[in-house]
Amino acid sequence: MQSRIIERPGFTVVGMEYLFREGDNGFGQLWERFIPRENEVTGKREPAVSYGVCAPHTDGWLQYVAGFEVDEDAAVPEGMVRIQVPAQRYAVFTHVGTAAQIGASFEAIMDHLLDQHGFQACEGVDLERYDQRFDDPFDPTSEMELYIPIR
């Protein structure tokens, strides 16, 4: 899996939220609910780029937001949330495959790829970045980027 390091400034995402605990898997259903409503999000910085934002929440819960980077003062449609992603240094890996294989890519990154590349993960906000290379969640040639916070 290809990788690179970037310093990503903080930014704002508006989208739909899913609260979960480690091991839960309702991300696909969240995207299925969000995609029909994605045009309700205004002030998009990159209209062809969507994000999956995974952040620590409260009491062992995690927050996942499917959404778009927006202007800081963008409106939040009913049933959606705003999340602030802090500035962070990331190891960015390119995932090639179906949406169902993203979890396996995350596991490979955390289990051995970070070490192989000399990176050390830290507490922070994980990102999935979907652009025009991710044509279809069932296409094994689709590409997207996984952002892992590092020191």
Instruction: For residue 136, give the amino acid letter.
Output: D
Asked whether the predicted pLDDT for residue 25 surpasses 80, the reply is: no
Q: Under a CB-based contact definition with an 8 Å cutoff, are residues 126 and 147 in contact?
A: yes
The CB density around residue 134, as the number of other CB atoms within 10 Å, is 19
So what's the pLDDT on residue 131?
98
CA dihedral 33, 34, 36, 38 (to 10 degrees): 170
Q: What angle do CA 123, 142, 101 make, to 5 degrees?
A: 55
Asked whether the predicted pLDDT for residue 1 surpasses 90, the reply is: no
Take residue 40 and report the two structure tokens written for it. 């309700």
Binning pLDDT at 50, 70 and 90, where does residue 70 land? very high
So what's the pLDDT on residue 5?
97
Take residue 1 and report the two structure tokens written for it. 């899996």
Average pLDDT score over residue span 90-115 = 95
Take residue 56 and report the two structure tokens written for it. 């620590």
